Amino acid sequence: MAIQLKPEQEKFIEEQVASGKYNSPEEVVDTMFQVFGNLQSEYDEWVKETRDKVDVAIAEIERGESLDGETVITEILEQFKKAREA
């Protein structure tokens, strides 16, 4: 597969090699793919965890185990008031 890099991408890779952190452009690209893969895995896990939490919250709401928004805001404001007084 052949790809065409934008000038700013080539410059970035060249700067990384010139910094001495990497021995070659290939090493820079390999590292970028590793970082991207790690970020993608972390994001996928975050999405799964968030969906699981939403499912739990929906089930709690359906069972009547939720608080209404006004109650939550009142409790938060009371905590802020206590924190200011302390």
CB of 41 within 8 A of CB of 30? no
What pLDDT, on a 0 to 100 scale, did the predictor assign at position 5? 97
DSSP letter at 23 equals S
Does the pTM surpass 0.85? The reply is no
Give residue 69's pLDDT: 87
Torsion of CA 73, 67, 58, 49, to 10 degrees: 50
pLDDT tens-digit series, residues 15-41: 999 999 999 999 999 999 999 999 999
CA-only gyration radius of the chain, Å: 24
Residue 4 has pLDDT above 90, yes or no: yes
For the chain, the maximum distance between any two Cα atoms, rounded to a whole number of angstroms, is: 65
At 43-76, the pLDDT tens digits run 999 999 999 999 999 999 999 988 888 989 999 9
Q: Which helix (H) or strand (E) holds 73?
A: helix 69-85
Q: In the prediction, which pLDDT does 45 show?
A: 98
pLDDT exceeds cutoff 90 at 82? yes
Burial class (CB in 10 A: 0-12, 13-18, 19+), 7: exposed
